[in-house]
A and B are shown apart, each in its own frame.
Chain A
Amino acid sequence: MEQLVAVLIDGIIYSAWLFVAAVGLTLIYGVMKIVNVTHGSFYALGAYAAASITGWALRQGMPEGLSYAVLLGSALLITLVVAPAIERGILRFMYARDEVVILLITYALFLVLEDVIKLVWGVSPLFIAEPYGLLGSFDVLDLTYPYYNLILVGVAIACGAGLTWMLGHTRTGKLLVAVIHDTEVSRAMGINVERMYLITFTFGSLLAAIGGAFTAPTVSVVPGLGIEVIVLSFAVVVIGGLGSLPGAALGALIVGIVRSATVHYLPEAELFVIYFVMAMVLTFRPRGLFSLAEARKI
């Protein structure tokens, strides 16, 4: 019983983290049809920015309670600097290329950003543990969990709800849905698709950076942070269906629960099982669990 509860709680916490890290990927794919490897870099950038800025602010005597806002602010700051530069400076010239070629371009950018991070922040690990320990912890049965994990879950719910609300109830969101549905018709109807791409790329990357920023207090921030995240995010969004928002949530939940179950019952299979699920989904529903049939275009 206790183990079952532990599986469930660990799974949900892990799912929340996965969802935040991966949901931007599905948004960018949905609108721009780009499988974006730089997503991993933005995760890492978010983590680095959060660790260094929050650490600096705390050393300046900032009250610790504000550190959560600073985590969020640093993710926002770094994304607003880097994402538009990449989209305007490089990606926008590539949209006419093949899906696979754009993927390779984002992979090249990912390699470049890996080293940019090393140049800016150096190679020694950064720690910013204060926000993690600040809130204390709570008990479920005999298990102890830090309250910080609840913040992670909260961030995930806020991201999901915010994104759903934005897509369904704001002007920009509705325009985005139109672009997702049919880029060419949207353009013909006078939507500034270029601008939508810029917004989407920045916003999607911001979500990755937020994921990184809120993970920073729980880990040591080291080079190569984004490398693992990017494949995990691929797994999550592919399981749910590339481009689908509820799909990303479901994918995160499946991967999260399955992983935490294997960690508890069969730790040897921890990594294996995630990609096994991904391969199974691709085998039986190649377009993911939440996807509409697509007409074969000639």
Chain B
Amino acid sequence: MRPDRTPLLLVLMLAAVLVLGPIVPRWTLFLLTIAMAKGLVVLGLLLFLRCGLVSFGQALYYCVGAYAAGMLGRLYGVSDVITLMIAGMLAAALLAFVLGFLLARYRGIFFGLLSLALSMILYGLLVKTEALGSTDGFNVLPSTILGWRPPDDWVRYAVLACASLVAFVAALGVHRYLRTPLGRLAPAIKDNEIRVEYMGASARYAIHTKYVIAGALAGLGGALAATTVGHIDPEMGYWTTSGEFIFITILAGTGNVLAPFLGALLFESIRSVAFDLSPNTWQMVLGGSLLAVIVFLPNGLWSLFRRRKAA
């Protein structure tokens, strides 16, 4: 058996981000943190995709995490990044636990459509809630860390450092989870669910667990995005946001827990560059690359690394 290199890779990535953070230009820190936030959401979607499920409403939990963080700041003046992320995660996980009882019964297109409907319900509510700023959303307090307000130059780096630690723990956790019997059930559910049940395993239970984990990760990402951007609005729960997450999932592939973060970084980079170069064709670039990945690399960009290793 080949030694498991992923934990080592994760440590190296973490070290790289922490060491390079103070050196690279400031704007890349923002890009990296947002990529980290989206990578967390996509890490959850990776769990679904391994079962052959695609959620068109993961923005629901992203948005819940963001609003939980935002409201904590608005109502109680909490601005601590770590508290906010935990709050976002718990709020989203709780909701995912409840809704999971319903969604774990659905497969294929219906899983996608029901999650779409649920996320649009939240969007519909937020858009009309004037107390939360309707379509404009509201501003989130500037971030602090454990009661400490870093000097302005260093806030971005400090948030990024927290975020990468969290992402490191999350990625390692999911990596471990994929190696448990419950985690290994995913491809079997994708292939043939009835056989899974004949084996004595419960597909519904497995999917419910994954649903809660994915929800928690998305809430974490949402809270992180909220405190990084400093502003939240209902758009975070709109279906186009979910579409973005699926996009990254497909782009990255499900081969490894690192893939979502690299995919998110690539996505954000493509978007900023394409948006800068030609604001009217950046979606075309994105759509084109999605098509190309689906056609030529059905297992995502990560499969490029795999193939080279095998050769």
Interface bits A82-122 vs B (CB < 8 Å: 1, else 0): 00000000100100001111011101111110111011000
Contacts of B124 in A (CB 8 A): 269-276
Tell me whether B280 and A231 are in contact (CB under 8 A). Answer: no
Contacts of B110 in A (CB 8 A): 282, 286-287
Tell me whether A286 and B106 are in contact (CB under 8 A). Answer: yes
Given A269-B128, A270-B128, A271-B123, check contact A101 B117 (CB 8 Å): no
| Residue A216, interface by CB 8 Å | no
CB contact between A112 and one of B108, B114, B284 (< 8 Å): that residue: B284
Interface of A is mostly: helix
Tell me whether A100 and B52 are in contact (CB under 8 A). Answer: yes
B167 to chain A, nearest CB (A): 25
Interface bits B226-254 vs A (CB < 8 Å: 1, else 0): 00000000000001100100110010000
Given A108-B291, A271-B123, check contact A115 B283 (CB 8 Å): yes
Tell me whether A235 and B287 are in contact (CB under 8 A). Answer: no
Seed contacts A119-B280, A272-B121, A283-B114; 7 additional CB < 8 Å A-B pairs: A104-B246, A107-B243, A108-B287, A111-B287, A112-B288, A235-B120, A276-B124
Contacts of A272 in B (CB 8 A): 121, 124-125, 128
Contacts of A115 in B (CB 8 A): 280-284, 287
Contacts of B52 in A (CB 8 A): 98, 100
| Residue A175, interface by CB 8 Å | no
| Residue A268, interface by CB 8 Å | yes
| Residue A77, interface by CB 8 Å | no
Interface of B is mostly: helix
B195 to chain A, nearest CB (A): 9
| Residue A298, interface by CB 8 Å | yes
| Residue A227, interface by CB 8 Å | yes
B113 to chain A, nearest CB (A): 5
| Residue B109, interface by CB 8 Å | yes
Interface bits B86-130 vs A (CB < 8 Å: 1, else 0): 000000000000000010001011101110111011011101110
Tell me whether A35 and B128 are in contact (CB under 8 A). Answer: no
Tell me whether B113 and A282 are in contact (CB under 8 A). Answer: yes
Tell me whether B102 and A283 are in contact (CB under 8 A). Answer: yes
A292 to chain B, nearest CB (A): 15
Across the interface, name the chain A residue whose C-beta is closest to B130. A268
Query: What separation, in Å, do the CA atoms of A210 and B240 have in the docked complex?
Result: 24
A4 to chain B, nearest CB (A): 23
| Residue B12, interface by CB 8 Å | no
Tell me whether B113 and A238 are in contact (CB under 8 A). Answer: yes
